[in-house]
Structures are given as structure tokens and as C-alpha cells.
Amino acid sequence: MKAFLLAGGEGLRLRPVTETVPKCLLPIRGKPLLSLWLELCRKHGVTEVLINLHHLSEKVLAFLNDHDFGVKVTTVYEERLSGSAGTVARHQSFVTGEEDFFVLYADNLTNIDLGAMLRFHRRRESLLTMGLFRTDTPEEKGIVSLDGRGLIIDFTEKPARPRSNLANAGIYIAGQQLYNYLRVEGFLDFGFDVLPKLVGKMHGYVIPEYLLDIGTPATYRQAQAEWAAVEGQDGACMRPPD
């Protein structure tokens, strides 16, 4: 099993900390986010990861060169960010021959059971399965509506009038058919450019474990406070406040 781990973000809302530390290397109780993700991938059977780099890429490369996480790591440098879907589109060769693959946003903190999500995905033979969590601020997220079978029947990025509180967690499992909806030219974002086209073709998996988007100083402080109760637990079903 392979995974795209999207780690090129600049972390603008986390400045000044991210002026000298890449967002993906921000420590959570002493351990960088990227380290937590690679350990999680290995634990759930991911054997190879492609990581996109941009901001302070030399520091990320130095970190990866100094550590062995038990998974094969391929890095790609983007002089200009391609967008969350752009990286996946431009590196289709990385997953050639794979039945399914993960797409993971490295700025999330989670102990999700990726194996359980994969089993859900394969039972439904879905084009794409989107990890979901419940949010108190749906107007700031990508919001979905589900039917009784878990099929996503509506998706809107940052809706003015949200129809639900089920939000995109930035964790996907996709099959090769996804590439029929991607293009390699220009900037390509999953939330705005791809997922709206997949409504009625993708399923939603509500994540029971802990998940927090490390996007602001407030959520970064929240992560430091909460992770001690989650770290080391296998699939602890602790949901933080949004």
C-alpha cells in the first residue's frame, strides 16, 4: 500500500513559528508531525510514501535523512505548490499498479485506524472514500451530506449555509479511476476542483478516533494539551472540540 503525504504547506497562520520550522516538523510533545504520520503509516501497512516539499524543504530533507521510519520515502520538490490534488495528479506513476492508495494531509494530528478505513473503502468499491469528522465551524470546512449508505450526495467547500457538520478530514483513499478527474496543468485543489465532481461517486467514512487540524496557534496549543491522552493508544475514540 502506498500513500501521498502532503507536507509542502507554508503554515502562514502559524507564523512566526513556521518562519524557521516547516509546518510538518512542528513538534507535538517533542515529536514532529511528520514523524507521527510516518509511524502511523508503517503501523497500518503502508510501505511507501511520496512526500511533497516546498517551504524550508532542506530542513525536511535533513530530518528524513537522519531517521528511518521503516517505510520507503520518496520526496518531490515543488518550486510552486501544485495544490493538494496537483501533487497527486503529477505523480500518477508513483501509484501505477496499485489498486488503492492513501492521500494524507500532514498538518492533521490523528491516531486514525487506517486499516479500518481501508476495509470500509473496499467493501463499498468506491472511487474515493473521504475521511470525515464533526465540526463546530462548518462554514470554515469542506462539508458533506451522506445518504443512508454512506454515499456523499453533497459537497461544498466553506459553505455560507452549511447543510451538515460533517467535514472533510483531509484523509482519502482512492482508486485509479480518480485520475480520470485530475489534470496535470496548473494548480489543482481537492476541495474546490475535484471533490465537487465526485458527488454521488464517493463515500464518507466518519472517523471515530482523534483528529485535529494544526492550522492556528490555538489548535497547536490544543494539540499539545490533548495528545498526551491519545498518544500510544490504538484508535482511541477521543474527539476534540473544533
Predicted confidence (pLDDT) per residue in 6-30, tens digit = 998 765 676 766 677 788 899 999 8
Predicted confidence (pLDDT) per residue in 162-212, tens digit = 999 999 999 999 999 999 999 988 899 999 999 999 999 999 999 999 999
Task: DSSP letter for 241, please.
Answer: P
Note the CATH number of domain 2-229: 3.90.550.10
Buried b (16+ CB within 10 A) or exposed e, 142-160: bbbbbeeebbbeebbeebe
Strand pairing partners for 37? none
pTM for this entry: 0.91
**What pLDDT was estimated at residue 238?**
39
Predicted confidence (pLDDT) per residue in 79-136, tens digit = 898 999 999 999 999 999 999 999 999 989 999 999 999 999 999 989 999 999 999 8
* d(C-alpha 69, C-alpha 73), whole Å: 9
Predicted confidence (pLDDT) per residue in 135-170, tens digit = 988 998 999 999 999 999 999 999 999 999 999 999
Alpha helices by DSSP H, 31-141 = 33-43, 57-65, 84-90, 114-124
Name the least confident of 43-52, 169-178, 222-231: 222-231
If one counts every other C-beta atom within 10 angstroms of the C-beta of residue 240, the result is 18
Residue type present at position 153: I
**What pLDDT was estimated at residue 242?**
36
Residue 52 reports pLDDT greater than 80: yes
